[in-house]
Chain A
């Protein structure tokens, strides 16, 4: 996998993160959305650990 592809993956990760954060901000009265968005953000962190943290070092 080359640097360009990793960069593309990282961009998508940022998009998902932003969307999940926005969901969370919109979801105050809907625990189903709030808590599931929180879980998505936890999974996003795993994507960041695996890809985003390393991207700039390659």
Chain B
């Protein structure tokens, strides 16, 4: 595949990132067989899972055979970890003393899942992130600021180590509060930053309102890598972030139990490349379970981390939903693209008034309407037998005079893009919840009724 962009030196590994598709698939099946054999031999949980399915590692010969391997879900991991041996149960594939890193999932979908990693797995994490950051232009000349808590969630830990690996200067902004972080960015002239979209917008807001700092004019951040929420792949949210900072904003996708598997390159092709040298991603039709190869059809992401050894991630049902893009990227990478990134979660995509909708579709509309603040909330309830959807918004103070125009535009766009009618509630500016790191703006109360 040709690199048709004007840029050279864009690949962390030009060999794997431009491998022809046929050879990439050969690599994937070779590595899948290897990790499957590893898990079968080293872990009672995996061996039992495969034996109950009547499967031995040698049965898997082609990529088509991979679909025969039973899937693993998060709930299974929770169950395993409640049993001995403490603390990881029998999915662990290395002696406990080889585990050097403990992290856990955020617990938003249930009890947190523990994630053990060996030092080799930890190097692997930073290797995955090196592919990401290098593709986004991070180089030795960058001074990278990390405004995150350096805590029990994997978050940007591997981003820190990858930036170091690339040769950047890394500034850990852990303990500082938001204002102190902004001032440190200014003081040290940091050129790049990593944060959740919610925090990116929040920092810009704080900079302007509390410090009188205009990020595009007064700060030197020119690239931002996002993680943790879909925002950077939602065009309107990306645009807001880029305008707020005067910087390019790039998305990436990963998970504690999977790894950092997808990324937006400098070309910003309207989707995320999958690191297909290190991950095997299959899209599965949500209803039929059929593997989807063609673009334009949404499916659930079933993913294998091909080199992760302590607690392997093999055919993990991520519950994320995506579709393949049609066009290759000008960057020349043969790594396929999921169009628009992760477009929703299978357990978030829901039917409201008979219409299938992902929360990200509503975010795209709200954030594209000029005159509305960054915050909003969606509440779905039932009134008798009928679904009812309320959208809570804030008008920017300076847009009060344009209230009717803004509302009309919002309603029209919502109808056009989501095919639904909403009760719209306008709340006073600054009254809706503000989130520090990750937002919870979509509340489906029907589940609790």
Q: Which residues of A contact B (CB under 8 A)?
A: 1, 6, 38-39, 41-43, 45-46, 49-51, 53-54, 57-58
The count of chain B contact residues (Cβ–Cβ below 8 Å) is 20
**B307/A6 in contact, CB under 8 A:** no
Q: Does B346 contact A (CB under 8 A)?
A: no
**A42/B123 in contact, CB under 8 A:** yes
Q: Does B99 contact A (CB under 8 A)?
A: no
Q: How far is the CB of B261 from chain A (nearest CB, A)?
A: 14
**B27/A38 in contact, CB under 8 A:** no
- The 3 lowest CB-CB distance pairs between A and B, nearest first, are A42-B120, A42-B123, A57-B23
A42 surroundings in chain B (CB, below 8 A): 118-120, 122-123
Known pairs A49-B127, A57-B23; A1 contacts B278 (CB<8 A): no
**B23/A58 in contact, CB under 8 A:** yes
Q: How far is the CB of B146 from chain A (nearest CB, A)?
A: 22
B19 surroundings in chain A (CB, below 8 A): 54, 57
Q: How far is the CB of A28 from chain B (nearest CB, A)?
A: 15
Selected contact of B16 from candidates A38, A43, A46, A50, CB within 8 Å: A50
Q: Can you list 16 residue pairs at the A/B interface with Cβ under 8 Å?
A: A39-B119, A41-B120, A42-B118, A42-B119, A42-B120, A43-B123, A46-B124, A46-B127, A49-B277, A49-B278, A50-B13, A51-B15, A53-B30, A54-B277, A57-B27, A57-B30
Q: Which residues of B contact A (CB under 8 A)?
A: 13-16, 19, 23, 26-27, 30-31, 118-120, 122-124, 127, 277-278, 307
**A57/B26 in contact, CB under 8 A:** yes
Distance in angstroms between the alpha carbons of A39 and B123 in the assembled complex:
9
Known pairs A42-B123, A54-B277, A58-B23; A1 contacts B14 (CB<8 A): yes
A49 surroundings in chain B (CB, below 8 A): 124, 127, 277-278, 307
Smallest CB gap from A47: residue in B: B127
Selected contact of A54 from candidates B16, B118, B120, B123, CB within 8 Å: B16
Known pairs A6-B15, A46-B127; A53 contacts B120 (CB<8 A): no
Chain B interface, >50% SS class: helix
Q: How far is the CB of A34 from chain B (nearest CB, A)?
A: 13
Smallest CB gap from A6: residue in B: B15
B127 surroundings in chain A (CB, below 8 A): 46, 49-50
Known pairs A46-B124, A53-B27, A54-B27; A38 contacts B119 (CB<8 A): yes
Distance in angstroms between the alpha carbons of A35 and B59 in the assembled complex:
38
Smallest CB gap from A49: residue in B: B307
A39 surroundings in chain B (CB, below 8 A): 119
| Given A42-B118, A42-B120, A45-B123, 12 further pairs, Cβ under 8 A | A38-B119, A42-B119, A45-B124, A45-B307, A46-B123, A49-B124, A49-B277, A50-B16, A53-B27, A54-B15, A54-B277, A57-B26
B26 surroundings in chain A (CB, below 8 A): 57
Distance in angstroms between the alpha carbons of A54 and B14 in the assembled complex:
12
Smallest CB gap from A39: residue in B: B119
Smallest CB gap from B19: residue in A: A54
Known pairs A43-B123, A46-B124; A53 contacts B15 (CB<8 A): no
